[in-house]
Amino acid sequence: MQHYMLTIHQPQGETPSPEVLEPIMRDLEAVNEELRAAGAWVFAGGMHQPSTYTVLRPKDDEVITTDGPYAEGKEFIGGFTVIKAPDLDAALEWGRKFARAITLPVEVRPMQYGSCG
Amino acid sequence: MTSGSPEVSAAEIERVFREERGRAVAVLVRLLGDIDLAEEAVQDAFAEAVQRWPSAGLPPSPAGWIITTARNRSIDRLRREASRKDRYAQAALLHAHDDAPSEEGPVCDDRLRLIFTCCHPALAPHSRVALTLRLLGGLTTAEIAHAFLVPESTMAQRLVRAKGKIRDARIPYRVPDESDLPDRLRGVLSVVYLIFNEGYAASSGDRLVREDLCAEAIRLGRLLAELMPDEPEVLGLLALMLLTESRRAARTTPDGALVRLADQDRERWDRALIAEGQEIVRACLRRDRPGPYQIQAAINAVHSDAATAAATDWSQILRLYDHLYALTPTPIVALNRAVAVAEVEGPEAALSRVDALASDLDRHHLFHAVRADLLRRLGRSAEAVMAYEAALDRTQNAAERDFLRRRRADLDSARESDPRNGDARTT
């Protein structure tokens, strides 16, 4: 089994209204349920807006703390899910379900190593 | 090519390897699970063949010999380099297949799996083309780089990156499930057609390698048709390529100038390719599951049917374009359809359709070339000259440019001898 991280790419700005968000969250939960039932779910998390990020930068013997995010962009990683899948096609199939549920782009990244599972 | 006959030439060995390389690499990829190792193994087998075949003669089954030798050489290589644990694992994997040497059946050919792997949508489109040519066509990195006009180092890097992605992201080595097949097959067919077009739209670069690309695309098309005989679009693409290829000799003058379809010497068309292409088109019609490649093949079949350009059944071609446009409503299809409209309804009707495409196709030289031709036929010479110039501005293809310049010059000399051009119509 290979681990893949599915990242959700979210535009910066206002959170959509509850009427928009509610059905999306319902669809997302259904995909998560399906993942767990299939034994493919490993770990998942959602992110706050980049305005809340802090960057730590090593410099000489110190580590400098600054206001984040590290990279400015119109989109940021709004959340991620780590899954187990036998190959890329299987991982892409889960990715498609996420993209449809969340209505945002999803990037599927194979993980080089990991300690889960 | 009788078995065991001595005196096999180097060229003959090259030819056998060119033909059998795809199959051998595909089988070795399945056995080894690693594309690079598979390529190395087949290369080792080739080196051994060059040593042995000239004196020993061709083996009874060259393909079998290549696969067996490549497999044995990869076992040797893995043993030699077995300092790393994973190489042991691969050696063990090879031995697990010891009792199944004759697994290559027609039902799930390894080459088919390899084509779908090379054309996986997760790979960049140019990488799909390069990998397919490298692994199934057996072209060298230098040849592929040359054909696509990029430096060899760039092409080498693309191939390394693509193979790395197949390995690290675990792009599976298999034919997709029935439900995914139509979608994935479209990608495979477009790669083969892209290879063909790259060869067909020759002119710059080394002509030889580019003709080679057409031959390679047709070979891949035949392979797909053999492996997937029930997919009508696979047959449609093969027929389209055969019918297009049949006109190659007539398409240029000896000095390389472009000859329009209407002006081609039809005696120089390849009758055998036409017969084969038309037979496939008829078989597709009987199945009645039309798709874009089949319709384009049918349009080419109608052209091939006409003994002279004047005898072309344009109303049938127009009906086929209507059908094609319904399936793929792109501006380019609309432009081609307008050419048929000009033949059936006249240039006036066609011109209004072409003008409507201006915002979509202004950057395409063909849009302006078609427009120029229609304006010329309507006697609007000054506008035609301007349209030829617009077309010239938009193509770097030497043969196309020569052709457009000649057309423009013809028009200029006609205008000088025509008193009507003195008055209006210069916009």
A21 in any annotated domain:
yes
β-bridge partners, A59: A62
pTM above 0.90, yes or no: no
The DSSP output letter for B27 is H
Q: Which of A35, A34, A40 is nearest to A84 (CA)?
A: A40
Structure confidence by residue, pLDDT tens digits, B298-314 = 999 999 999 999 999 99
Q: What are the structure tokens assigned to B270, written together?
A: 């390849």
Q: Greater confidence, B174 or B239?
A: B239
Average pLDDT of the residues in A22-40: 95
A37 in any annotated domain:
yes
Confidence class for position B390, pLDDT limits 50, 70, 90? very high
User: B153 to chain A nearest CA, in Å?
Assistant: 26
Instruction: Out of B16-25, B132-141, B281-290, B417-426, pick the least confident.
Output: B417-426
**Residue B36: pLDDT over 50:** yes
The DSSP output letter for B122 is T
The residue of A88, A108, A112 whose CB has the most chain B CBs within 10 angstroms, and thus the best one to mutate to test that interface, is A88
pLDDT at B93: 59
pLDDT at B87: 61
Nearest CA in chain A to B171: A88
- Are B204 and B149 in contact by the 8 Å Cβ rule? The answer is yes
Which stretches within chain A are classed as H helix? Answer: 18-37, 88-102
A117 in any annotated domain:
no
User: A1 to chain B nearest CA, in Å?
Assistant: 10
Spell out which residues of chain B touch residue A110, defining contact as CB-CB under 8 Å. 168-170
CA distance B94 to B369: 59
Average pLDDT of the residues in B315-324: 97
Report CA-CA distances (Å) from B390 to B41, B298, B371, B401, B408: 53, 32, 10, 11, 11
pLDDT at B417: 60
A30 in any annotated domain:
yes
CA distance B68 to B63: 9
In A, what residues contact B, Cβ < 8 A? 2, 86-89, 92, 108, 110, 112
Structure confidence by residue, pLDDT tens digits, B77-93 = 888 776 665 665 666 65
User: B172 to chain A nearest CA, in Å?
Assistant: 6
pLDDT at B399: 80
**Residue B102: pLDDT over 60:** no
% of chain B at pLDDT higher than 70: 87
CA distance A101 to A30: 9
pLDDT at A113: 78
Burial class (CB in 10 A: 0-12, 13-18, 19+), B241: buried
Average pLDDT of the residues in B198-227: 79
pLDDT at B86: 64
Average per-residue pLDDT in chain B? 87
State whether A87 and B171 contact (CB < 8 Å): yes
CA-based R_g, chain B, Å: 25
Spell out which residues of chain A touch residue B170, defining contact as CB-CB under 8 Å. 2, 86-88, 110
CATH number (domain holding residue A40): 3.30.70.1060
pLDDT at B103: 43
Work out how many domains chain A is built from and give that number: 1
Instruction: Out of A67-71, B3-7, B184-188, pick the least confident.
Output: B3-7
Average pLDDT of the residues in B285-294: 94
Which stretches within B169-206 are classed as H helix? Answer: 181-200
A93 in any annotated domain:
yes
The DSSP output letter for B310 is G
Q: What are the structure tokens assigned to B331, written together?
A: 């501006």
Q: Greater confidence, A110 or B147?
A: A110
Domain extent at residue A88: 2-110
CA distance B170 to A1: 10
Whether the ω angle into residue A58 lies within 30 degrees of 0, i.e. cis, is: no
CA distance A46 to A55: 18
Report CA-CA distances (Å) from B357 to B193, B326, B347, B349: 25, 17, 15, 14
A82 in any annotated domain:
yes
**Residue A106: pLDDT over 50:** yes
Q: Out of A86, A108, A110, whose CB is closest to B168?
A: A110
Structure confidence by residue, pLDDT tens digits, A49-72 = 888 899 999 999 999 999 989 888
CA distance B224 to B212: 18
For B80-127, list the strands marked E by DSSP.
Answer: none
Q: What are the structure tokens assigned to A65, written together?
A: 């703390």
A115 in any annotated domain:
no
Q: Greater confidence, B104 or B368?
A: B368
Spell out which residues of chain B touch residue A88, defining contact as CB-CB under 8 Å. 120, 122, 169-172
CA distance B34 to B201: 35
A116 in any annotated domain:
no
Report CA-CA distances (Å) from A50 to A14, A70, A99, B183, B211: 12, 9, 21, 37, 54
The interface predicted TM-score of the complex, written ipTM, equals 0.85
Burial class (CB in 10 A: 0-12, 13-18, 19+), B394: middle
**Residue B427: pLDDT over 50:** no
User: A65 to chain B nearest CA, in Å?
Assistant: 35
Spell out which residues of chain A touch residue B176, defining contact as CB-CB under 8 Å. 89
CA distance B147 to B134: 12
